[in-house]
Amino acid sequence: MELLYRIAPAADVQAAEAQGYFESADLAAEGFIHCSFLHQVMGVSQRHYAGQQGLVLFSIDPASVDYEIRVENTSGGTELYPHIYGRVPWVAVKHLYKNTYDEAGVFTLPEELRSHP
């Protein structure tokens, strides 16, 4: 499976680095962590995070996650998204992109990901 991506508050990411794993409010509320594939990141950023401050993007190697990962749609649409049914060990995080949102909360895909196949 290809790398997964997650947008999250920088404070949650700092906590994850310190404790060794990433958890999120969606894991507590829904039982899984919402993620996306690279081609879905722009749409997710616009639909769910537009105008917000203090957000970062990180990539996750699914082979390093100990919990089930399902590619599914849980909201009734047609597009399938990856969901991780447990916390993400920080060692599974391959790259952290810190400057992806400007002061107005507009997301820009990092340059190194724009040319990714």
Q: Residue 113: which pLDDT band, with cuts at 50, 70 and 90?
A: confident
What is the DSSP code string of 7-61? EEEHHHHHHHHHHTEE--HHHHHHSSEE-B-GGGHHHHHHHHSTT--SEEEEEE-
Residue 40: name the closest of 8, 85, 4, 1 by CA.
4
Residue 50 in tokens: 């537009």
Q: Residue 116: which pLDDT band, with cuts at 50, 70 and 90?
A: low
Q: How many structural domains comprise the chain?
A: 1
Residue 69 in tokens: 């990962």
Residue 26: CATH number of its domain:
3.20.170.20
Residue-number span of the structural domain to which 96 is assigned: 4-114
Mean pLDDT for the stretch of residues 110-115:
82
Q: Is residue 31's pLDDT more than 90?
A: yes
